Amino acid sequence: MPLFIVHHQHSPETCPARDPAKGAMLLNHLSRPSAARHGVVIKGEAVVRGSHSLFFIAEAADETVLQAFLTPFRQAGEVEVMAASTCAGVVASGGCDARPAEVSAAFLDPADACQDAVEAGLLVHRVYPLNGETSVQDLAGGAVVPNGRFYLRNHFDIPNLDGESYRLSVGGLVERSLSLSMRDLHNLHAESLVVTLECAGNGRSLFGPAVPGEAWGLGAVSTAEWTGVPLIEVIERAGLRPGATELTFRGADGGLVEGHDAPIRFERGLSFDQIREAGALLAYEMNGEQLSSPHGYPLRLIVPGWYAVASVKWLTEIVVTDKPCEAHYQTEKYWYQWVRNGGDERAPVTLMSVRALISSPDQGESLPRGETAIRGVAWSGAGSISRVDVSLNDGPWREARLVGERRRSAWQWWELMTRLEQTGPLAVRARATDMAGRTQPERAEWNRLGYGNNSIHCVTAQVI
């Protein structure tokens, strides 16, 4: 709904607040329930002390509705109504002078989506496309990250799909092409999996020299319980034709990208073996709630263990082929490009690297002397975590206790209790090792597009 700022002013002689009956009448009129009856939502009001001047921020379908509501204020003095925008709206439209962009019903309003992300506590990197990360302190705590605080990574506008008319099409080298409604999918056998998603660019801003791409800190990672249909069941229903080995997953989103003249769709591919091994899920619920539009409503792919680019949101088509997918985000992006021995070496971004993050203490936090808990999360795409070691002030590595359930594709919390005897700076480092025996490097190898930065996390606190 459009936003307005209202300014009401009256003369000191006729100040309605001095007359108990008039004051009460205006208070009641301005109350939230009374405003709602007039079709107005009041966001907050304040009187400027000593100036007989009242401001409030309100939403209404249009100015006429708001003006009708303001009648008692016009009788008491003057009223000025100014059209306004949220800060998110101004940034989304490109500045204070720009008119708000026309929003098509096929997409979420970027300003609204951004406002929701900011209110939920995400650290927004960009409004278009909407990208925001979770704060590292928010990672540990509950078994999963609350939906509003789950990081967001988009490449294009966020589709606003209609679940009623939505169909998932499965075609290509199959025995039977399928067109499945959400009702069809809900009628299939459902499974729930707790899965950590991490953006391959998580930690990119910590690479030096700087690399292009979204400058993520360390919070482009979150965990949720995803519910939906095992992908393999849908593929088996369609039936593979001889030679069929690969699947392409197409999202409803798309747009122009560098190096292409025509708009592209967001597409990724996996082999049949990869989806079977990973236990991929067609998810329609996130933490027990219907998937939200920013996270892929009504249906997304979840590929446990893989960097999250594989987990295609707003999934509308699955195409079965005999050749690997050659889409932009498969072949032109999401490749490690290391510079080794004077030449480039390339490898595709696949499973998540092993990594631990310290959620407590926070960078720069003051800790009292005495008993303290060092805490965090750790995960790996290659298997569950076997150990996490912590080093204080470059001292020896000490094994932390793993807390909670051990799951194949979800992060593991860890904790180390220690006594802090000395005041002064405290450098905390944490290093995870997975069941496959992989551990973290001191510094991850620099690569041109800044993927997979699993350098050992270090925070410095202050013991007081």
Ligand X SMILES: Nc1nc2c(c(=O)[nH]1)N[C@H]1C(S)=C(S)[C@@H](COP(=O)(O)O)O[C@H]1N2
Q: Catalog residues that contact ligand X under the rule CB under 6 A.
A: 150-155, 197, 199, 251, 253, 266, 295, 308-309, 311-314
297 binds, among ligand X, Mo ion, none (CB under 5 to 8 A by kind): none
Structure-token pair, residue 213: 């791409």
Q: How many C-beta neighbours within 10 Å does residue 407 have? A: 18
Pick from 68, 69, 61: nearest CA to 29: 69
305 forms beta bridges with none
| Structural contact between residues 226 and 283, judged by C-beta atoms closer than 8 angstroms | yes
Cβ-proximal residue to Mo ion, closest one:
199
Residues that bind Mo ion (CB under 5 A): 153, 199, 309
295 binds, among ligand X, Mo ion, none (CB under 5 to 8 A by kind): ligand X
Q: Which helix (H) or strand (E) holds 403?
A: strand 401-403
Nearer to ligand X, 77 or 217 (CB): 217
| Structural contact between residues 383 and 351, judged by C-beta atoms closer than 8 angstroms | no
Q: In the bound complex, what is the minimum distance in angstroms from residue 198's beta carbon to ligand X?
A: 7
151 binds, among Mo ion, ligand X, none (CB under 5 to 8 A by kind): ligand X
Nearer to Mo ion, 280 or 309 (CB): 309
Rg (CA), the chain: 27
8 forms beta bridges with 54, 79
Cβ-proximal residue to ligand X, closest one:
251
Q: In the bound complex, what is the minimum distance in angstroms from residue 292's beta carbon to ligand X?
A: 9
Nearer to ligand X, 173 or 312 (CB): 312
| Amino acid at residue number 221 | V
Pick from 361, 365, 367, 362: nearest CA to 463: 367
248 binds, among Mo ion, ligand X, none (CB under 5 to 8 A by kind): none
Nearer to ligand X, 56 or 216 (CB): 216
221 binds, among Mo ion, ligand X, none (CB under 5 to 8 A by kind): none
313 binds, among ligand X, Mo ion, none (CB under 5 to 8 A by kind): ligand X
Nearer to ligand X, 40 or 199 (CB): 199
Q: In the bound complex, what is the minimum distance in angstroms from residue 214's beta carbon to Mo ion?
A: 8
Nearer to ligand X, 322 or 326 (CB): 326
The beta strands (E) that lie in 32-77 are given as 40-48, 53-60
Q: In the bound complex, what is the minimum distance in angstroms from residue 380's beta carbon to ligand X?
A: 17
Angle (CA) 77 78 79, round 5° = 130
Residue 59 to residue 78: CA distance in whole angstroms: 20
Nearer to ligand X, 10 or 313 (CB): 313
Residue labelled with tokens 């100036």: 51
